[in-house]
Chain A
Amino acid sequence: MDFIIIFQAGVATGTVLLFATIGELLTERSGVLNLGVEGMMLIGAMTGFSVTVATGNPWLGLLAAMLFAGLVSQIHALITITLHADQVVSGLALTFLGTGISLVLGEGLSKAGTVALLPSFSVPLLSQIPILGPVFFTRQSILVYIGYFLVPVTWYFINRTRPGLHLRAVGEYPAAADALGINVHGMRYLYVFIGGMLAGLAGATISLAVAPGWFSELTTAGQGWIAVGLVIFAQWDPVRAAVGSYAFGALRRLILDIQGPTVLFGFANPFYYNPYWGFFLQMLPYAFTVIVLVIGSREAIRKRLGSPAALGNTYIRGERGL
């Protein structure tokens, strides 16, 4: 077990969660809860892989994945923003729909074999830094590097720019934003779309870079739901979202690696000698999500932090309340 390798792989797999979490974070900041992340990720993974199989160009696959997932997310936008329906139920429907569509269109795709993947490379100079170099800058996919840029850009956008201010206003107090002349519905449509595109990107990151291929529902294995949980843990802050995503990525890798060696910290490795105990290790990411939610929710109460005030509420112009 080499911790450098675990963290290096953790950053790579964590990038999947990072994209999905940042996307959902932006959507929720505008006041819309989209529980369909898992479905949109599956759409992205399937589209990215099948377009790459068809065209041989993974960049086209990536683009198609983002567009198709973004398009599917607009169903949620239409139902919740224009038709005022319940966001939770609509999000669940989107999960079913996304899963179903990707399974139907992805039928037979698992036998497609190998395809051209997105490039991986090491960054000169930066990869020479001890510990950080091998973890963050050595033989990572280009998507991982894009992830590094996405975090500060999103933070700056939300907290230091005028459109970011508008985004926060729409999510916190849409009536006031509306009175200021901000197009509340238009903004929400836009951020649901951006969230959908990033979920699609997350899915394509799996099928074109991190774990190439199409394995039906197991491609995402519930990571869309973990992303929704990480948004709460991150308290709608992109930097905390990044920390959480990479930590979860590392945990997934640790679970794989811990079952390999015969000796662990000087003791006989129980997971090597009792292979069935591995199932308990498989539970860990999900158990950790619950723990992370407990921590995040408690901290939110203590610091009096909260979700965007209008999260989950339909905005109807001229009605009382939010």
Chain B
Amino acid sequence: MKPSQKEWISRLVDGLLPVFATLAALLVGAVMLLFLRVNPLQAYAALWEGAFGSSNALAETLVKATPLLLVALGICISFRGDVINIGGEGQMIVGALLAAWLGLTFTDWPGWVMIPAAMLAGFIGGAVWGGIPGFLKAYFNVNEILSTVMMNAIAVQLMNFLLRGPMIDPSQAELASKIPQTARLVEAFRLARLAPTRLHLGALIAVILAVLVYILLWRTTLGYRIRAVGQNPHASRYAGINVKRHIVMALLLSGAFAGLAGAVQVFGVNYRMITDGSASGFTGSAGFNGIVAALFGQLHPIWSIPASVLFGALLVGANSMQRAMQVPSALITALNGLVVVFVVSSEIWRQRRQRRRLASAPETESSPGSGAASPESAEEAV
């Protein structure tokens, strides 16, 4: 059935809601900037310039967006399975630690062997760190939101221990300063640069994986089951799906992508691990901001790509804003929160319109592709 003109408009509005949410957040941010006695227009100009002003700036934005996208892909999987993974930070750290250990131990491997192996190590490290809360949720009924947060804190201390103890750069171990960092990876192991900037192969890997995650979620049995369990665990159980196993799988896969993000960060950007004692010192809070990006992309892997670029731009731009206007870059943390606030608040209007559409023409609802796949349209697909 051909959708009416009115329906097209309402779909367009649905699609643009995140844009409105961002604008609203920037508006509130402007009020905060005024409160800090900073001209918001100048500040936002500095932000834009820092994020997109030159090819280097654009590359930095994409470098920042890469871990966000990888984490967001994992979040798409877990949130679709109704499992809330707040443990991206810890999973990134553990994935990075395992990958870094591999890269620093087997220095004689050829690069084409090491790089896939290291990515796999990151994947596995994150999967273990995500799988533990998944197991505890499935079999011990432990709230995964809390256990993943706790696993973050545990991972930070593990990193601090390893980088000061067993994994410390041997040359640092002899110095009095003892900077808690590993040795540098050999040149052959570093992810190739895509342009004469810091942009590296990881960005491409992330985009390819976004397509693969889309296929996983909507074209495979595993993805179908994870979504089914997320929509209605009881119905899924009666349909013969092993609910517990798919809860574990959702968190395990989610953690794996975050772990991969950590490995990419080590092999593509820093070439070593270094800690300032906090999680964000290594991750740049990508484990949290990836959640924001995924929610902004309506938990759809493909829509998560532009969402990650947007938040990457905000993060990079915030740094140049800080330099130019002396605005604390933590303002972006608040802005991220505001964006989510406005995105979830606008849900009610979308739901209301959807209900009205359902009431007026129930048969048109079965047609696929009603904008980005929201949880509601996922329900139809299931």
Contacts and interface: CB of A to CB of B under 8 A. Distances in A.
B43 to A, nearest CB: 12
Contacts of A97: 334, 337-338, 341
B328 A103 contact: yes
B333 A100 contact: yes
B153 interface: yes
Given A83-B345, A90-B341, A104-B331, A225 B149 contact: yes
- Looking at chain A, what size class is its interface with the partner chain? 35 or more
A198 B145 CA distance: 22
A248 B36 CA distance: 38
Contacts of A270: none
B127 interface: no
B336 interface: yes
A17 B186 CA distance: 47
B351 interface: yes
Interface stretch (A126-134, A138-146, A278-286): A278-286
Looking at chain A's contact residues, the main secondary structure is: helix
B109 interface: no
Contacts of A317: none
Contacts of A282: 157, 160
A11 B54 CA distance: 55
B157 A279 contact: yes
6 contacts: A79-B345, A83-B347, A89-B340, A222-B153, A225-B146, A276-B164
B155 to A, nearest CB: 9
Interface in A72-111: 75, 78-79, 83-86, 88-90, 92-101, 103-104, 107
B263 interface: no
How many B residues are at the interface, by size bracket? 35 or more
Nearest to A36: B337
Most buried by A among B141, B332, B335: B141
B161 interface: yes
Which among B86, B140, B154, B327 has the highest number of chain A CB atoms within 10 Å?
A: B154
Contacts of B141: 297-298, 300-301
B150 interface: yes
Contacts of A84: 347-348, 351
B165 A95 contact: no
Contact of B292 (A96, A228, A283): A96
B136 A294 contact: yes
Nearest to B331: A104
B84 interface: yes
A64 B164 CA distance: 41
A93 B347 contact: no
A289 B333 contact: no
Given A279-B157, A279-B161, A287-B154, A100 B143 contact: no
A297 B333 contact: no
Given A85-B347, A229-B146, A93 B330 contact: no
A103 B101 CA distance: 34
A1 interface: no
Contact of A93 (B32, B84, B327, B344): B344
B147 interface: yes
B158 interface: yes
A104 B348 contact: no
Contacts of B86: 92
Most-contacted residue by chain B among A75, A89, A217, A294 (CB, 10 A) = A89
Contact of B146 (A39, A101, A228): A228
Contacts of A300: 141
A5 interface: no
Contacts of B146: 225, 228-229, 232, 289-290, 293
A135 interface: no
Give the residue among A75, A103, A226 with the most B Cβ atoms within 10 A: A103
Contacts of A276: 161, 164-165
Contacts of A293: 136, 142-143, 146-147
Contacts of A217: 278
B295 interface: yes
Interface string B324-360: 0001101111111110110011011001000000000
